[in-house]
Amino acid sequence: MNARPSLPKRLVALLCAASLFAWPAHAQSPNTLPSLGDSVADDLSVGAERLIGEQIMREIRRDPDYLDDPVLLEYLQSIWQPLVAAARARGEIGVELELRYTFEPFLVRERSVNAFALPGGFIGVHLGLIAMTTSRDELAAVLAHELSHITQRHIARSIAPSRQASLLAVAATILGMLAMSRSRTPDAGNAVVTGGQAAAIQSQLNFSRDMEREADRVGYGVLNQAGYSAAGMAAMFEKLDQSSRLNDSGNFPYLRTHPLTVERIGEARARASMTDAAPLYTTLEHATAQARARVLMDTRADALRRLEGLSANAAAPGNASVAERLGAAYASALSATLLLDWARADAALALAMNLAQGSPRNDDRALRAVRLLAAQSMLERGDAARAAAALVPLHNEASRPVLLLQSQIALAAHAQTSAPNNPQAAQQGPLAVAELRGSAEALQTWVATHPQDAAAWKTLGQVWARLGQPLRSLRADAEAQLAIGDISGAIERLRAAQRLVRTGASNDFIEASVVDARLRAIEAQRRMLAGDDKKNGGHGSGEPPP
């Protein structure tokens, strides 16, 4: 494991300190959602599920193992969205679920093979799962299964029989289950469950065999309608079963919460054989995503050095496929970049580019992935010019990875032109400022439609600061803090912005009005939070007590 605070340990500390009471910026009115102290009725409402999910996600988003990697998350979304569209077309997502649930996948920096559904439509995916799959279809099969747990409301159906469990206890118990799934010993998770006074319903959170079969059946239909190979589910089941038998070292928590049986594997094989299922096909883009997950799931130096050495294998064709060689070159280039080994990074990038361009499959998405990696590598070494050159073919693309990379490149270029004793400053400076202003405009447009994008807000704050707009920078930083669930941090930054206005350091009256309005709204949110906290015997601040 990585040498940093683990998710289970942080959750134990946070939950025992009763810190589950932070309200999301887009939370529903308390007139439509129950208080955290209300008992879970036989019919757990969709709104209550969403509230529980938001409370859990608020803690997960603030954990260091929560990973917002724009490239990998975009790839995950490219598989996830067709599944959601297929479930909607099949009638699995009704009007109420459509309005209340978020259907949001997220990444967890974890080597173990796991994925899990949370109340409210959230899906967690460990990097170890992505690294294990060899095709889009296999990954899609797991996502379709988890999506079906959500659309069939299996979490609510598991919890509902326990009338005495409060929503807070349910949230604490689910977090405890997640902690245990990531820990080799159950002590950490048990502490959370006991602290939440919900040990009595712990067993009910494990899906029943009937629910697993239902998720298989519904998920298969969704998988097939979304255009993925029907063989993906059977292939994934067989791979999980074989891998866990060969390596039974606790690295497969997915099998603890979704136990495989001979019956389930047999049914998956039968479904695949009854259709004209296309064979599993490993796209070159999936090979780059798989390689990226392998690198990012364990960034210790020794693990990176092992992956860095894969470029030698990728250079010699042997019996390896193009996809395998491209994945090895990509992993080597990214590992070398993280190790600051620029010579190895350049060699591996050149090899990956040749493989992507020279493949008879002509996979444009794979070539795009290599270009994004090249830009990232150049940016890491401070070469803004080469980073910008790598993105030239993607310049007009309105995707999140390109937008964030372009903004970081503009920041780096402006910093270079502003450096002392720079003889080119007079010629390059105006162009760098223009690029920075363009990035500010693009980011502002993006966050207007993606207000929960913390990374975009944070980058926008950096851009405004570099452009000499401290008020706008503070407001963007406040929105970034709010997006990750740090209400106190958001309020502190907005108050700092107000102090800036009072000193006369800023005369942006429109932005000052926005700051005042946002501060009032967020403080009202915190007062609402404090009221719910008191109902549950908490501390009313949304933060751990001293």
Q: How far apart are CA 323 and CA 391, in angstroms?
A: 23
Q: What interhelical angle do 487-502 and 470-483 show, nearest 10?
A: 170
Nearest CA to 339 among 300, 291, 383? 300
**What's CA 392's distance to the chain center, in Å?**
27
pLDDT at site 5: 40
Beta-bridge mates of residue 39: 166
CA 348 to chain centre: 27
pLDDT score of 284:
92
User: Tens digit of pLDDT for each residue in 54-72?
Assistant: 888 888 888 889 999 999 9
Question: In the chain, which stretches have pLDDT less than 50?
Answer: 1-42, 163-164, 184, 186-205, 536-546
pLDDT at 178: 66
pLDDT in tens, 161-184: 554 455 556 666 666 656 665 554
Kind of pairing, strands 104-108 and 122-126?
A: parallel
How many CB atoms neighbour CB 276 within 10 A? Answer: 5
Q: What was the pLDDT predicted at 422?
A: 64
Query: To which H or E segment does residue 117 belong?
Result: strand 115-118
What is the pTM for the complete model shown? Answer: 0.82
What is the rounded (10 degree) CA torsion for 449, 453, 459, 461? 70
Residue 235's pLDDT is: 85
- For the chain, which residues make up each domain, given as ranges? 7-67+79-273, 469-546
